[in-house]
Amino acid sequence: MCGLLGFIGQSTDPVISEKLTTALFIRTESRGIDASGFYCISDFKNKNIYYHKQPVKSSIFINSDEYKSIWQNNLTAGLFHCRAASLGVGIPIINENNHPFVSNDLKKAVIHNGLISRIDYDVLRNFYECETACDSEIVLRILEQESNSFENLKIFFDNTATSAYAIAFMECTENDRTLYLFRNQERPLHILDLSQELGQIFFFSTVEILFSSLADINLNFDNLRIHEIQPHNLFAINYKDTNRINLKQFIVKSDNDETKIPMSARKINKKLSDWENKIQSTQVDITDTVMAMSNKLIENMGNLQNKLQQNVEFKKNDKVNAIFNYLRDANKKFDNLKKLWGTDEF
């Protein structure tokens, strides 16, 4: 388990952005204490790239001169990583094994939470050369190729079926920066839209980390627009020198062709999400939709309760474990909704 966070867009209030990023970085330490690192890009005028990592936890890393110095610049994008090193994929004391992983021209960078399985890794190593012992480097080697970024992403999706991942990939040119965010069901990843408040979009691992960070620095926003990235969804967030943020969502679908060659690609359905429309117009009234979803939830929970009470054998079934895990996560989300609501009761 590792922790990811970052942002895209030049802040209209750099002091608040620094405080929020630092608070998130400290809280994300709960997901990894073996190493910390960042990859940041300055404004379009200066075109500087700042990149540093160390085998220390983030609460120590934030006191380094390298971390403090990045906030003296007008940043347009940033990736930050807290690593919990998995056994056998590169010890953190050897700093090259830590995140971010950055291309030789410094224009592309990756941070990864999860594990590229040995099965997937061994196949991919036949096509891509890695310099470190960390499995996450293979993600960069795929995505840094000179071909179209979406073609590289297709290759990654098609060859990591047994892996666990939440990934942030950044690429920059002189006139724009593009942040790609995606995950599968094994790891969490969320987006916070602060485009109206700060001119930025943030990402982070869990909602618990976000709320704790906001409380730590006593920061309140009138309308928190939070989105949980769904498994096998790809978000591409582009920021141009016109100070405009453009967000698109893509649904990743398999070809379902058992005869395909190992490096065949998956299709990406370029259908915009409802959430993208809400970024453009955040005042959409979805009360009726929420009511309908709540009523459906009540109905389903009643049916499940009856099933458990009436069928003794069902209680012994392995499916109960799946239900337990689902309800545990659902209860966590309800606790977060209470915090967002500002009350202990609905």
With bands split at pLDDT 50, 70 and 90, how would you rate the model's confidence at 182?
very high
346 confidence band (pLDDT: 50, 70, 90): low
pLDDT tens-digit readout, 240-275: 987 889 998 888 876 655 544 444 445 565 554 444
Q: Look at residue 264 in the predicted model and tell me its pLDDT.
A: 46
Residue 279 pLDDT class (50, 70, 90 cuts): very low
Distance CA 193, CA 176 (A): 19
Average pLDDT (24-49) is 95
**3-class secondary structure, 303:** helix
Together in a domain, 253 and 201: yes
Question: Which of 250, 280, 310 is at the close of a domain?
Answer: 280
Q: What percent of the chain has pLDDT over 70?
A: 81
**Confidence check: pLDDT of 46 > 90:** no
Closest to 153 (Cα-Cα) out of 189, 117, 179:
179
Q: Is the domain of 257 the same as that of 330?
A: no
- In angstroms, the CA 321 to CA 332 distance is 17
Residue that terminates a domain, selected from 280, 302, 322? 280
222 and 206 part of one domain: yes
HSE of 303 in the Cβ direction (CA atoms, 13 Å)? 6
With a cut of 60, say whether residue 336 has pLDDT above it.
yes
Instruction: Looking at the structure, tell me whether residues 196 and 325 fall in a common domain.
Output: no
Same domain membership, residue 331 and residue 212 = no
**DSSP state string for 217-239:** TT---SS-EEEEPPTTEEEEEEE
- Does 346 reside within a domain? no
State the average pLDDT for the chain: 85
Question: Is residue 51 over pLDDT 60?
Answer: yes
Q: Is residue 58 part of a domain?
A: yes
pLDDT in tens, 291-321: 877 888 888 888 888 877 777 565 555 566 6
3-state SS class at 17? helix
**Overall average pLDDT of the 318-328 stretch:** 64
Q: Would you place residue 282 in the very low, low, confident or very high pLDDT band (cuts 50, 70, 90)?
A: very low
Helix runs in 11-78, H state only: 14-28, 58-61, 65-70
Question: Residues 228, 132: one domain?
Answer: yes
User: Above 80 in pLDDT, residue 24?
Assistant: yes
**Residue labelled with tokens 């999706």:** 157
The answer to the question of residue 295 being in a domain is yes
Task: Please state the domain count of the chain.
Answer: 2
Taking 90 as the threshold, does the pLDDT of residue 142 lie above it? yes
pLDDT score, position 278: 46
Last residue of a domain, one of 280, 310, 331: 280
Enclosing domain of residue 323? 287-341
